[in-house]
């Protein structure tokens, strides 16, 4: 009994140590990425614009259809639920305000972050993990290429640019989805609903979602890269790392969303 308890305590201690170690590694990746962004040209390690644009296309433009479709459905779902809930208080007219505020502040960045984490976070972890297993990372170092500058910095910059653009599109589609269902119930045209929704929004509402999206993009890249660099065990390890990257990214996105919501609404 005592031996079992000791083993459990040891397991908890090892897991905690590994978690702290990986957190420190992720912070180092973030620091090194911007370090090489600033001084890379001096050491012939500059980031190429073509790589960043490619990451914007892969992580942003290619994810646009699914992001827009899901946010449209979420906007419609919110309108259905809010109309039902507010009808008990005779406040159906407030549906427009509630959807516009909740979508721009909360739902659009969160949904976009989850979708991109499933697409790009897994891809980053798989790419780096497979290169670790095949010793391509060591080969990059031998030929004088800094792995962080080559593998981490381009997707980091790409997601920091593409995430806010995705969220703006998601905001529009979610509000439009709400308009499709709510406009008839409120005796308004869709054009009037959309115009009134944009009128009730303030800069802070949209800005809050954009700030969150940038933070989510950083989390996705750092978690995916960190998980990839720690891959062991060949192809099986790459598969486990891919799954872990998605789960951990989404967990940190939800946690960061809660923290950001608290401070940004004070």
- What are the pLDDT digits (tens) for 19-54? 888 888 889 999 988 888 888 777 777 788 888 899
Which among 155, 87, 105 has a CA at the least distance from the CA of 260?
105
- Among 178-187, 216-225, 245-254, the least confident range: 178-187
b/e per residue, 128-157, with b = 16+ CB within 10 A?
Answer: bbbbbbeeebeebeeeeebbbbbbbbbbbb
Which tokens is 125 given? Answer: 């972890």
d(CA 8, CA 5): 5
Sign of torsion over alpha carbons 95, 115, 117, 158: negative
Mean pLDDT along residues 174-195? 87
Which among 123, 144, 134, 121 has a CA at the least distance from the CA of 218?
121
The answer, yes or no, to whether residue 1 has pLDDT greater than 70, is no
Sign of torsion over alpha carbons 115, 26, 137, 14: negative
The answer, yes or no, to whether residue 66 has pLDDT greater than 90, is yes
**pTM of the entire predicted model:** 0.91
Residue 176: the pLDDT is 92
């Amino acid at each position: 009994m005592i031996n079992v308890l000791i083993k459990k305590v040891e397991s908890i201690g090892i897991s905690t140590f590994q978690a702290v170690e990986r957190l420190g590694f992720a912070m180092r990746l973030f620091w090194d990425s911007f370090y090489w962004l600033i001084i890379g040209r001096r050491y012939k390690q500059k980031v190429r614009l073509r790589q960043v644009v490619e990451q914007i296309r892969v992580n942003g433009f290619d994810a646009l259809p699914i992001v827009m479709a899901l946010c449209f459905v979420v906007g419609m779902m919110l309108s259905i639920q809010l109309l039902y809930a507010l009808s008990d208080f005779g406040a159906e007219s407030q549906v427009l305000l509630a959807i516009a505020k909740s979508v721009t502040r909360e739902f659009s960045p969160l949904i976009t972050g989850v979708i991109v984490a499933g697409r790009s976070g897994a891809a980053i972890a798989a790419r780096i993990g497979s290169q670790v297993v095949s010793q391509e990372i060591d080969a990059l170092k031998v030929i004088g290429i800094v792995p962080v500058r080559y593998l981490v910095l381009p997707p980091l910059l790409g997601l920091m640019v593409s995430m806010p653009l995705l969220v703006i599109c998601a905001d529009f589609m979610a509000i439009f989805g709400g308009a499709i269902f709510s406009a008839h119930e409120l005796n308004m045209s869709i054009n009037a609903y959309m115009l009134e929704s944009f009128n009730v929004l303030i800069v802070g509402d949209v800005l809050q979602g954009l700030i969150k999206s940038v933070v989510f993009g950083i989390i996705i890249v750092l978690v995916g890269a960190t998980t990839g660099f720690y891959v062991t065990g060949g192809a099986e390890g790459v598969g486990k790392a891919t799954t872990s990257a998605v789960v951990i990214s989404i967990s940190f996105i939800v946690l960061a969303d809660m923290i950001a919501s608290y401070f940004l609404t004070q």
